[in-house]
Amino acid sequence: MSRKITVIPGDGIGPDIIESATQILDKVGCDFEYEYADAGLIALEKHGELLPESTLAAIENNGITLKGPLTTPVGGGFTSINVTLRKHFGLYANLRPVNSFKGTQARYDNVDIITIRENTEGMYSGLGQTTKEDGSEAEAMSRVTRLGCERIVRYAYELARREGRKKVTAVHKANILKSTSGLFLSVAREIGKEYDDIESDEMIVDATCMKLVMDPSQFDVIVTTNLFGDIISDLCAGLVGGLGMAPGANIGEKCAIFEAVHGSAPDIAGQNLANPSSVILASIQMLEHLGMQDKAEKIRNALRDVIESGDRTTRDLGGSHGTTEFTQAILERL
Ligand code: NAI
Ligand code: MG
């Protein structure tokens, strides 16, 4: 029986790169039934709101969503749709894997790191944000909970085990942020003891950034709080040639949303120029989440072969072809 998943094509280059991904999923015989839903600017135009109730219902009912980039209009007081989705569905784990591909702008040949970022608490909990009327002072509150720390750290170790990874590095700043980062670190140490098959490491966030740039090969799984994870995962994307090659998954108890990490790229939208790799990599994450490892591997190999051989790659990858030709090159290998 086919499995139903929600697909949000999104704005700008979204529909083109999502179509590329669904063609590839179909080609390897995934047998998904796609329920298309609107969000972002297109939803605002069609339904009068950025995130219609029907889209929320589809995400909830199907559990699994593949999502293109969404444009949040500037001005008008709109809150980020991505932040709203994370809160609404309690998507507490943000998984950002990076792998280097030869022939791209990757700084190193052998990067294989996954950052697991706590996605709902910490500096981004939105609590206590005040600015004095005269602009002389501003405050924001960071709040982490034992439960929040436990479930993200446990997620990291379970993923390490599942994926045959060797080491989990807990990234923190407990020397300065003694309460919040301190709680995170002590929970990470406790939970690490339960997994004696996985090496546990801990590192202060600023030193982590330096070491990632100097020698990324010493990292495997990184687990950290919200703000640090946001920054470190982009740094990792930079190590493998930028956001065009970086997917992300947002995972909660009941729902999971898989997405490209970059935005809607309005400057190249509708011109058949977009590189669909990040949304293809997000589909691979989705298949792995669904236990369809064989199909995930097939797609990864085909994508790798196209990129590394330079066969019909897009401009940002140093080629001169479009989204459709690049997709065709992958489909032929499948
Ligand atoms: P962007 O990521 O859309 O574009 C930055 C640059 O990277 C542009 O030059 C663009 O052409 C290029 N680029 C991005 N993706 C590409 C791809 N797949 N292939 C080739 N080139 C690519 O960031 P920008 O311009 O700051 O944001 C545009 C819109 O996207 C904004 O409305 C923003 O709110 C939204 N956005 C949405 C995100 C999401 O839904 N996850 C994340 C980031 C931004
Ligand atoms: Mg970010």
d(CA 91, CA 113): 21
Contact 321, 330 (CB under 8 A): no
Question: What count of other Cβ atoms lies within 10 Å of the Cβ of residue 53?
Answer: 9
Task: For residue 124, indicate whether it is catalytic.
Answer: yes
Residues with CB under 6 A from ligand 1: 13, 17, 69-72, 82, 243-244, 259, 262-268, 274-275, 316
pLDDT value, residue 77:
75
Question: Which residue positions in the chain have pLDDT lower than 70?
Answer: none
Which CATH number does 1-104+242-334 carry?
Answer: 3.40.718.10
Whether 144 and 184 have beta carbons less than 8 Å apart is answered as: yes
pTM (2 decimals)? 0.94
Residues 6+ apart with CB under 8 A from 195: 157, 160, 161, 168
Q: What is the full DSSP assignment across 235-258?
A: HHHHHTTSGGG-EEEEE-SS-EEE
- As a whole number of angstroms, the distance between CA 118 and CA 86 comes to 11
CATH top-level class for 107-239? alpha beta
Q: Separation of 262 CA from ligand 1 center, angstroms?
A: 5
Q: State the pLDDT at residue 244.
A: 81
> How many angstroms separate the alpha carbon of residue 19 from the centre of ligand 1?
17
The alpha carbon of 232 and the centre of ligand 2 are apart by a number of angstroms equal to: 9
User: Nearest residue CA, atom 26 of ligand 1?
Assistant: 263
Question: In angstroms, rounded to a whole number, what is the distance separating the alpha carbons of residues 54 and 43?
Answer: 11
Judge whether 1-104+242-334 and 107-239 match in fold.
yes
- Selecting among 230, 295, 298, 316, the annotated active-site residue is 230
Q: From the CA of 40, give the closest atom in ligand 1.
A: 40
- Residue extents of the structural domains in the chain: 1-104+242-334, 107-239
Look up 197 and say whether it is catalytic: no
Quote the ipTM score: 0.96
- Per-residue pLDDT, 146: 98
The answer to whether residues 265 and 12 touch, using CB atoms and an 8 Å cutoff, is yes
